[in-house]
Amino acid sequence: MPKGYWVSVYPTIADPEALDAYNKLAGRAVKAAGGRTFARGGSRVVAHEAGIAERVVLIEFDSFEQAVAAYESAAYREALAALPEGFERDFRIVEGLD
């Protein structure tokens, strides 16, 4: 069964400390749903073409369905509510190849 991935790119982060509440809640929600964080940061990003050298987050789940369910969970909805006003990110859930 193909794995599922959350891929997030943060084009700009005006106030990194404002993300603290979200990060704590999201981390707990991801862990509870069986997710594993493979990359989270922005200090070492090489961007090409239209890429943005900002924070990138990559989280793996055992299946695409598990990744979608984690996003739709009450715990992650609570984390989303903690995102600061005017916050911008490019977030997607993708299915792995196998």
Name the band, by pLDDT with cuts 50, 70 and 90, for residue 75: very high
Give the residue among 79, 41, 37 at the shortest CA–CA distance from 58: 37
Output 39 or 86, whichever has higher pLDDT: 39
Show the tokens assigned to 18. 């404002």
Average pLDDT over residues 26-55: 87
Tens of pLDDT, residues 9-27: 888 777 778 788 899 999 9
Show the tokens assigned to 36. 């594993």
Output 85 or 83, whichever has higher pLDDT: 83
Domains of the chain, residue spans: 4-95
The structural architecture, per CATH, of the domain 4-95 is 2-Layer Sandwich (3.30)
Q: Give yes or no for residue 52 having a pLDDT over 80.
A: no
Number of H helices, E strands in the chain: 3, 4
pTM of the model: 0.88
Average pLDDT over residues 23-40: 94
